[in-house]
Amino acid sequence: MPDLNAIKAEAKRLLAEGVVEVVVAFKPGDTPLHPQPAFFTNVDEVENLVYDGLCQNNLATFLTRLPKTKKVGMLVRGCENRSVNALVVEKQKSRENLYLVGIPCEGIIDWRKIVERAGEAVLAVNENNYVVEIETRDEHFTFSKNELLHDSCLRCVHPTPLSADILIGEALPEGNLAIARKAVEEFEAQTIEDKYAWFQKEAERCIRCYACREACPMCYCTECFVDHIEPRWTESGATPAGMQGWHIVRAFHQTARCTDCGACERACPMDIKMTYLTEKLNHDMINKYNFEAGLDTQTLPPFATVTLDDKNRFMA
């Protein structure tokens, strides 16, 4: 775990020296399982800052909600850093107005995995050196952190922020792309009927609350395609056509933009799996165009660039 005091000191410095107007980070939640994103604007508040494995949101999602010219300091992990970069590529924020405090990420704990193992009455969660101790109303549990990590984090390739202004803690080794690809390959190897059955089962639990959309840093459209009235792109209700349409198009809009942070899946109140969709698209982009979203702040995603090198592909 990175040193919390070092993070606080840095956040205080940023505010005190006027480098930024607001620091986006986390504060303790009212339940131990849910730390809350927080916006610190003065030095005194920063004492309240927390950071642990349960901080499940991708803070970059708040970037497009703050005024464009505001100077923002942000706590970023590997995936968040890439999301920020992708937003800079899409001109949603200029890099000069950002100060990124990088944290090498040891993975985000999926609170559902805690509830599954320890029940809901969790009173305290302590995390130390890849061991998570959980205090519930009646019992005490000890888990290895790997057991509780969110699926996206288990296949994380870039845990260390790539372009943070300051890194707090030691950089972690890069993940293995081949391991990351395994889940997608396994899914792909199924028969077409099985694939559809799985997709159907997952999509049709949807209640269309759009938590996945709101939790995603790349979903910043003022008007989402599902909110259009004329023309109506997908059915509005909780019908198979509407729910499948939503999941297909939401995922597809993330092509070459998704950083596989998994915030969508963690936000879902119905436990719908959806990173298997975006992961497929991510790996296709790597295979076809050797592109990963958010590795830098210049490279345009494949769908925004066309070259005549594509010519040969036409005849396939």
Partner 1 sequence: MSLKPKIALFQCQWCLYSPTDQEWVDSQLPENIHLIKTPCTGRINPLYVLNAVQGGADGVMISGCLPEQCHFKTGNMAARRQLEEFNDFLDYIGYEKSRMRFVWLDLQDRGIIQKRLAQFEKDLEALGQASNLVTRVKVAEGGQNA
Partner 2 sequence: MNLILEKQALPGLLQSWREQYDVYVPQKMERFSHFMPLTEESVLVTGEPHNTRIPPKALFLPMTETLVKFTRFGGYEDAQQNVQPRVVFGIRPCDAQAIQLLDTSFIQEGYTDPLWLERREKTITIGLGCHQPCHNGFCTTVGYGPFNKSDLDALLTDLGDTYLVETLSEAGEACFQDLSPASDDIYEHALEIQQIAHDQMPVAFETENLKEKLEQNFNSKFWEEVSQSCLGCGVCTFLCPTCFCFDIVDETQRKQRVRNWDTCMFRTYSLEASGHNPRPSRVERTRQRLSHKFVYWLDQVNQIGCTGCGRCVRYCPVGIDIRAMLRQAQTLPFEVSHAV
Residues that bind partner 2 (CB under 8 A): 29-31, 33-39, 56-57, 61-62, 112, 116, 119-122, 137, 205, 207-211, 213-215, 227, 232, 235-239, 242, 266-267, 269-271
Determine the 3-state secondary structure of 225 from DSSP.
helix
Least Cβ distance, residue 263 to partner 2 (angstroms): 8
| 294 contacts: CB under 8 Å, gap ≥ 6 | 81, 82, 83, 84, 85, 86, 89, 162, 259
Cis ω for the linkage preceding 231 (within 30 of 0): yes
Residue with tokens 């372009």: 163
Q: Which is nearer to partner 1, 25 or 226 (CB)?
A: 226
Least separation in angstroms between residue 119's CB and partner 2 is 8
- Return the ∠ at Cα 51 (arms to 47 and 52), rounded to 5°: 145
Contact of residue 13 among partner 2, partner 1, none (CB under 5-8 Å per partner type) = none
CB of 134: closest distance to partner 2 in angstroms?
Answer: 13
Give the nearer residue to partner 1 in terms of CB position, either 136 or 234. Answer: 234
Partner in contact with 227, chosen from partner 2, partner 1, none, beta carbon below 5 to 8 Å by kind: partner 2
Q: Which is nearer to partner 1, 51 or 246 (by Cβ)?
A: 246
CA distance 161 to 79: 7
Which of 64, 255, 297, 299 lies at the binding interface for partner 1 (CB under 8 A)?
255
173 three-state secondary structure? coil
Q: Which does 31 bind (CB under 5 to 8 A by kind): partner 1, partner 2, none?
A: partner 2
CB atoms within 10 A of CB 139: 10
Among partner 2, partner 1, none, partner that 270 touches (CB below 5 to 8 angstroms by kind): partner 2
Rounded CA gap, 245 and 291, in Å? 26
Identified binder of partner 1 from the candidate list 37, 154, 225, 299, rule CB under 8 A: 225
SS3 40: strand
The least CB distance from residue 179 to partner 1, in Å, is 20
Contact with partner 1 (CB under 8 A) among 62, 130, 199, 220: 199
Query: 265: which 2 tokens?
Result: 């899946």
Nearer to partner 2, 119 or 302 (CB): 119
Min CB(221)–partner 2 separation in Å: 11
Cα angle 79, 93, 165; round to 5: 55
Q: Helix 192-203 crosses helix 177-188 at what angle (to 10 degrees)?
A: 100
Task: Determine if 193 is a binding residue for partner 1 (CB under 8 A).
Answer: yes
Q: In what order do the strands lie in the sheet with 22-27?
A: 36-40, 22-27, 72-76, 98-102, 166-167
Contact 167, 104 (CB under 8 A): yes
- 193 interacts with, out of partner 1, partner 2, none, CB within 5 to 8 A per kind: partner 1
Strand 140-144 relative to strand 131-136, pairing: antiparallel
Per-position x/- string for 123-152, each x denoting binding to partner 1 as judged by CB under 8 A, each - no binding: ------------------------------
Bridge partner residues of 134 (DSSP): 125, 141
Positions touching partner 1 (CB under 8 A) are: 187-188, 192-193, 195-197, 199-200, 225, 233-234, 239-241, 244-245, 248-249, 251-252, 255, 277, 280-281, 284-285, 288, 302-303, 306-308, 310-311, 313-315
